[in-house]
Amino acid sequence: MKRTIDDNIKLNGKQQQVKLVEDTVKNDTFFPKGVHIDDMDRSIRDNFKEKFEIVSQGKAIPFLDIFSIQRFSEFMKTWQNVDETNTINLPFIIMVRENSEKGTNLGGTFNIASDITFPVWKRNTVRNGRATVDFYQIAQPVNIDITYIVHLFTSHQREVNMMDEMMLHAFKSAQYYVLVNGHHMPLFLESMDDDSQVGDLEKRKYYHKKYTLKLKGYLLREEDFKKLPSIDRIILKTHASYESNAYCEVKEVDLNCDLCLNYKFNRKSPNSQTYRIPMKLEFYYDNQNPVNDYSYFLNGNLVTLPFIAEKGDELTVSHNLHKQNIINITVCAKKID
């Protein structure tokens, strides 16, 4: 019966995914930890030592790890359960590091052939008195596949059975996940082979079972990590433009008269536009053909050229012209004292 409740179980799939990602950056640096080959070797060894223990006749079968072919690495080991010639007695389990090779891209896609970095974390901060954020970016990890072979040497079929069952249960899913510096990496059981010494009647006989495991991991270099500040101030300058389709523009233009107004209508603008007169003026000329269908209204009253407008009057120009093109109606005035 379970006496405690693991909070992780309450998380749904997506929440669990997010938690796993967040766990990788739960440290003081806000970056994930780097991953090197020795990190993977160490994690695999520790994981196997801790979680794949076989207890037979009340004793745990010793687990040995040898990742180097150097004689010194064996020489320096302090073996338990050895005979008078320092040869380890059966049974025991040994893990041997095999080949490492160019890795499998688990997404089934291609690598990004550059050193660009991608944000994995965003952190609020204050810089120069302004609230802003820093982006923590890492490069795409480099995939690596590492093979490990776990050897079981024993005199008893029952211990072989125990190991077989434990491995098959652990790898009943497609893979078994190993935590390497906070990164979850899949470990696959590739094969289970028998290399027992049983053929020669006048030799010592023992079982030798081999379990080939492949770790599909990745490498992350700390020197590729980047912390980039975000933009903390934007000065936005805007310029109102009346050249939009929905506006009619009235401009004062310089045509060597006191005031020249240019009413510019386009296809979507309203048919009339009003302008407040800044001074007393006499309007005397425009650029239109008199046959065109347009009119001047001063304070709402129809007027025709020439006409005088007082300061503050509103001059409205309206037209019924076909609006396929832009219509420019320019009207000129001279100042009256």
Partner 1 sequence: MNLAPLNNNNKFFSENEYNYYVSQAREHLASLDTKIIFYKVNKAKSQIDDLYGEAYEEEVTLDGAIEIPAIIKIDASENKAYVSDKSILRFEEYGNLTASVLIQDLEFYNANIVYGDYIAYRFSETQVLYFQVANDSQKLSSKNTFLGYKPYWKTITCTPVNKGEEFFRA
Other Cβ atoms closer than 10 A to 11: 14
DSSP track, 113-170: -S--EEEEEEEEEEETTEEEEEEEEEEPPEEEEEEEEEEEEES-HHHHHHHHHHHHHH
Q: Could you say which of 37, 96, 298, 308 contacts partner 1 (CB under 8 A)?
A: 96
**What is the size of the binding site for partner 1 (CB under 8 A)?**
30
Interface with partner 1 includes 114 (CB under 8 A)?
no
Q: Could you say which of 6, 84, 223, 243 contacts partner 1 (CB under 8 A)?
A: 84
Task: Give the count of alpha carbons within 13 A of 218, CB side only.
Answer: 19
* Residue 188 or 206 with smaller CB distance to partner 1: 206
The distance of closest approach from Cβ of residue 189 to partner 1 in the complex, given in angstroms and rounded to an integer, is: 19
* Residue 94 or 219 with smaller CB distance to partner 1: 94
- Report 133-192 residues binding partner 1 (CB under 8 A): 149, 151, 153, 155-158
* Residue 151 or 227 with smaller CB distance to partner 1: 151
Sole residue written with tokens 């709402």: 300
Q: CA-to-CA distance for 93 and 45, rounded, in angstroms?
A: 12
**181 neighbors 43 (Cβ within 8 angstroms):** yes
- Report 31-70 residues binding partner 1 (CB under 8 A): 56-57, 64, 66, 69
* Residue 53 or 193 with smaller CB distance to partner 1: 193
**54 neighbors 162 (Cβ within 8 angstroms):** yes
Judged by the rule CB under 8 A, the positions of this chain that interact with partner 1 are 56-57, 64, 66, 69, 71, 74, 83-85, 87-90, 94, 96, 149, 151, 153, 155-158, 201-206, 208
